[in-house]
Chains A and B, each alone.
Chain A
């Protein structure tokens, strides 16, 4: 080995390093094949078949997709999920932005303490959040309606009136603003003070300073929280399932008013064992999320102001 020509030694010196590099990649590669790529391809294949775990999968072509178009429950689930997302995302992002802006105006320990308080609800497991809001939103005696009664408003039956179930879920979702607020607050912290000061000296009012200085400087964070909130909204499951599914009484009283897309997917797969149909539902969700992400990235590239150093880094 030691007698090899310089060129040969160079090759040999690189090789073990490359081999070691691939050894470090092994867990990822195995996981990618077994738990990501493999299942994706398998679920695409299954989406063209009937499979109930008992008899062998039977190829049915596009039947599952055709059935989705005619399935009223799919329409209902898509409608509920879309409406929830359309309500939750703007409300959550705007409220979190307001909180972050106010947090940014105070200094010292107080800001940290408030930030902790805002994040606390996000440390509550979703099942417990669902349970808590079953009580808080109770139409007869819940705290939310007791609170509204203080202002002479007689609150709706949030957990049983089909027209009010979705608004109730949106209300519940706004309790979990913590992480969005922290991300936006961190972005606001990074806005150089000199910029706002320069604008102030130039005579810009508070609104103008916000529009022309602050907003562009935090646009990438803002854009990011919109994407993340949208993607998680589309996959809403835990809280809703806890509140309205899993036992006969809850399911009957809510009808389909709380039927979210992933809830329906879960039911099809693991309650009715329609593995093929559930896979088709999963692929539709995947495509929708992929398209939304692409659109948001495209639009974002036009709207978002990136600092030059962000590109360099």
Chain B
């Protein structure tokens, strides 16, 4: 990052000097003031974006009657880490965490591999109907999920899979328009002679996909994988529709159950709601910091809302 940014700095200086007519010191001072001004704005905005997290974590570590006390104190007083033990007693949070991981990885793996498979087909072959089929990929990107909500439920119901976690990931086995598009664009950038050389050496078309296209599109595959993992980790509506047994809940569905039980009513247990929210959020934060580069790249280059 820094290596690409620093060479730009002289370019900023040049017109300033041209305008100032030689006397550099006044301009430098003005630039310094401006920079302080911009940094102040960004710092203030950062505080607004970050403070809700601070509040959440701090409040989750306080006893219930202090939840709303000292809202601007950035550490818990008094410190009550026992809230987290209480969450695991109040609800099968660990099971939900494992469920979310299993469903998330299944969903992400399924969509990444199947989308890459189809994307390779679009990128490598010329065949009758390709334009029409690719048009269908683009068209379904606009399709709001709400339209197919009811019939999709009826499909899973008719094969007896409602009440299981299968509907949460199995549709991903058939690729997803957005990732097919992303991976195809990526594969189009691979020089064709790479594939042709392998063909001459006797590789099958499946080999081309498995041994050449997949390894070469690693960065795009990682983007697809972590985007889908995140989407799956966010998903609330599907678990609401398909899961009845609390033992099968994913974390967001479980957190919703905790809110419904403990936030309101005669005996609110806010500390449990707050600690469960932290537990739901934390794993994604870890994934984000590991794969940050890919997130930012993915959003910036594809325009996908994260």
How many Å lie between the Cα of A309 and that of B33 in the bound state?
38
Report the Cα distance A140→B241, complex, angstroms: 34
Report if A125-B281 is in contact (Cβ < 8 Å); known contacts: A102-B42, A119-B295, A179-B305: yes
Asked if B186 CB lies within 8 Å of chain A CBs, one says no
Q: In whole angstroms, how far apart are the Cα atoms of A111 and B270 in the complex?
A: 37
CB of A138 closer than 8 Å to a CB of B: yes
Closest to A203 in B: B19
Q: How far is the CA of A182 from the CA of B295 in the complex (A)?
A: 10
Report the separation of the CA atoms of residues A187 and B170 in the bound assembly, to the nearest whole angstrom. Answer: 36
Using A116-B292, A123-B288, A132-B56 as known contacts, say yes or no to A27 and B114 having CB atoms under 8 A apart: yes
Chain B residue nearest to A229 in the complex (CB): B305
Do B237 and A238 touch across chains, with their CB atoms under 8 A apart?
yes
- Give the contacts of A173-192 with B (CB-CB under 8 A): 175, 178-180, 182-183, 185-186
Q: Kindly provide the distance from the CB of A168 to the nearest chain B CB, expressed in whole angstroms.
A: 14
**CB-contact partner of A282 in B124, B147, B295, B304, under 8 A:** B147
Residue in B38, B67, B240 whose beta carbon sits within 8 Å of that of A106 in the complex? B38
CB-CB under 8 A from A186, the residues of chain B are: 299-301
Contacts A142-B68, A242-B236, A249-B265 given; does A127 touch B151 at CB 8 Å: no
Asked whether, in the complex, the Cβ of B171 is within 8 Å of the Cβ of A35, the reply is: yes
When distances are taken between beta carbons in the complex, the residues of chain A under 8 Å from B241 are 270
Q: Which residues of A contact B305 (CB under 8 A)?
A: 179-180, 228, 232
Q: Say whether chain B's binding surface is mostly helix, strand, loop, or mixed.
A: helix
Q: What 1/0 flags go to B42-79 for Cβ under 8 Å of A? A: 10011001111101100100000001100110000000
Instruction: List A contacts of B303 (CB < 8 A).
Output: 183, 221, 224-225, 228
When the two chains form their complex, are residues A279 and B68 in contact, meaning their CB atoms are under 8 A apart? no
B151:A28 contact, CB within 8 angstroms: no
Mark A204-229 against chain B: 1 for CB-CB distance below 8 A, else 0. Answer: 00000000000000000100110010
A283→B147 contact, CB < 8 A: yes
A121 CB to closest chain B CB, in angstroms? 6
Q: Number of contact residues on B: which range applies?
A: 35 or more
> Does B29 touch A at the CB level, under 8 Å?
no
Within 8 Å of chain A (Cβ to Cβ): is B15? Answer: yes
A152 to chain B, nearest CB (A): 16
B280 at the interface (CB under 8 A from A): yes
Q: Contact partner of A286 among B124, B147, B255, CB < 8 A?
A: B147
Q: Please list 8 pairs of residues, one from A and one from B, whose beta carbons are closer than 8 Å in the complex, sorted by A's number.
A: A24-B120, A27-B175, A40-B148, A106-B39, A116-B292, A117-B46, A247-B260, A283-B147
Residues of B at the A interface (CB closer than 8 Å) are: 1-2, 5-6, 8-9, 11-12, 14-15, 18-19, 34-35, 38-39, 41-42, 45-46, 49-53, 55-56, 59, 67-68, 71-72, 114, 117-118, 120-122, 124-128, 130, 133, 136-137, 140, 142-155, 157, 171, 173-175, 180, 205, 209, 230, 233-234, 236-237, 240-241, 251-252, 255-256, 259-260, 263-265, 270, 273-274, 277, 280-281, 284-285, 288, 292, 295-296, 299-301, 303-306
